[in-house]
Amino acid sequence: MKFRSVIIDSTMIILGILSAAFGLKGFLLPSHFIDGGVTGISLLVADVTHLPLSVLIFVINLPFLVLGYRKLGMKFALKSAVAIAGLSLCLAFVTFPDVTPDKLLTAVFGGVFIGAGIGLAIRAGAVLDGTEIAAVLVNKKTQFVRVSDVILILNVFIFIAAIFIISVESGLYSILTYLSASKMIDLILNGLEQYTGMTVVSVKGEEIREAITQNLGRGVTVYQGKSGYGKDGHINSPREIIFTVATRLEVPLIKKEILRIDPAAFIVQTSVDDTTGGLLKRKEH
């Protein structure tokens, strides 16, 4: 099983390297567009100094790899170092065609291939861009700033610099590249089938539980709770709290069934980034 896991992770990292390199050399570099993060900084420095991008990507990522080693462990740092070194070598020695001169297609599909590469590397337990490491560490230190906020703030400065150093047009197209890459990373990490968590508070909890499990084939978790001071004026009256996870297509059906049983049910929906175990696939009857 361990050998199989190593083969799968290695394959994903290799595919990630090839995808990211293709996005860079086949799309962004010919049009002088950039991406976010360390990759974007490397592209900006390469444009100004004319130093090889392959060297800059590895050198600028080195401090983040050291941080990753100290805070996240040897295995993660080693995988990431191999992945980033592989990307640098691929950029230096592998030739990719200039796919299209169309700037919009370049921005969108360059981002798609770079995002796919980063996403595949992350799924294999590595990174191709050290920005994520820095963002996680800042989040642990402050507790008030989310990882996504740190990455966004850094990228705002990168794209402002791109507007002044390269051109306004290239900077704006680069923002589109970053958005495209971000969506692709989400797709690779979370998949096409997005899940929604549904929390239901109702006096008819047992009926709702049976409807969700028996009629709709979904697993549930039941909590015992008490109400605060609601519209009905009752304080601390018993409530059953039902929690379930469903796909976005199933949410309207579940919601309709809940409100049929109890029109006064309190329903809260939340986005679920990832799930493991449990009854995620619909149970057939």
| Rounded Cα–Cα distance for residues 172 and 279 (Å) | 44
| Rounded Cα–Cα distance for residues 136 and 40 (Å) | 19
Q: Give the confidence band of 285 by pLDDT, cuts at 50, 70, 90.
A: very low
Q: Give the confidence band of 239 by pLDDT, cuts at 50, 70, 90.
A: confident
Does residue 200 share a domain with residue 186?
no
Q: Quick one: which of 239, 131, 138, 251 has its CA closest to 181?
A: 131
Query: Domain ends where: 145, 160, 190?
Result: 190
Q: Give me the mean pLDDT over the 235-241 stretch.
A: 72
Q: Are 118 and 181 in contact (CB under 8 A)?
A: yes
The answer to the question of residue 280 being in a domain is: no
Does residue 6 share a domain with residue 138?
yes
Does residue 223 share a domain with residue 155?
no
Does residue 86 share a domain with residue 141?
yes
The answer to the question of residue 232 being in a domain is: yes
Q: Are 152 and 135 in contact (CB under 8 A)?
A: no
Q: What are phi and psi of 231, to 5 degrees?
A: -65, -30
User: Residue 208 belongs to what domain range?
Assistant: 195-272
Supply the DSSP symbol for 118. H
Does residue 200 share a domain with residue 65?
no
Query: Domain ends where: 145, 162, 190?
Result: 190
| Rounded Cα–Cα distance for residues 28 and 165 (Å) | 16
Number of domains in the chain: 2
The answer to the question of residue 123 being in a domain is: yes
Distances (CA, A) of 106 to 27, 174, 240: 5, 10, 53
Does residue 212 share a domain with residue 103?
no
The answer to the question of residue 136 being in a domain is: yes
Of 28-32, 89-93, 190-194, least confident by mean pLDDT is 190-194
Does residue 181 share a domain with residue 52?
yes
The answer to the question of residue 281 being in a domain is: no
Does residue 152 share a domain with residue 36?
yes
Query: Domain ends where: 138, 160, 190?
Result: 190
pLDDT at residue 278, as a whole number: 58
Q: Report which of residues 235 and 198 the model is more confident about.
A: 198
Asked whether the whole model's pTM tops 0.75, one would answer no
Does residue 213 share a domain with residue 185?
no
CATH number of residue 245's parent domain: 3.30.70.120
Does residue 133 share a domain with residue 247?
no
The answer to the question of residue 279 being in a domain is: no
Q: Give me the mean pLDDT over the 192-208 stretch.
A: 82
Q: Are 114 and 185 in contact (CB under 8 A)?
A: no
State the CB neighbour count (10 A cutoff) for residue 242: 25
Q: Report which of residues 281 and 219 the model is more confident about.
A: 219
Helix (H/G/I), strand (E/B), else coil: 92: helix
Share of the chain above pLDDT 90, in %: 24
The answer to the question of residue 282 being in a domain is: no
Q: Are 165 and 47 in contact (CB under 8 A)?
A: yes
Does residue 205 share a domain with residue 156?
no
Question: 168-190 and 103-123 helices cross at what angle (nearest 10)?
Answer: 40
Average pLDDT value over all residues in the chain: 83
| Rounded Cα–Cα distance for residues 154 and 40 (Å) | 10
138-196 pLDDT, tens per residue? Answer: 655 665 555 556 677 788 888 888 888 888 988 899 889 988 988 888 788 766 566 78
Q: Report which of residues 54 and 133 the model is more confident about.
A: 54
Distances (CA, A) of 7 to 2, 3, 14, 147: 9, 6, 11, 30
Does residue 246 share a domain with residue 160?
no
40-70 pLDDT, tens per residue? Answer: 899 899 888 889 999 999 999 998 888 888 8
Buried b (16+ CB within 10 A) or exposed e, 207-228: bbbebbbeebebbbeeeeeeee
Looking up tokens 């083969």 gives 7
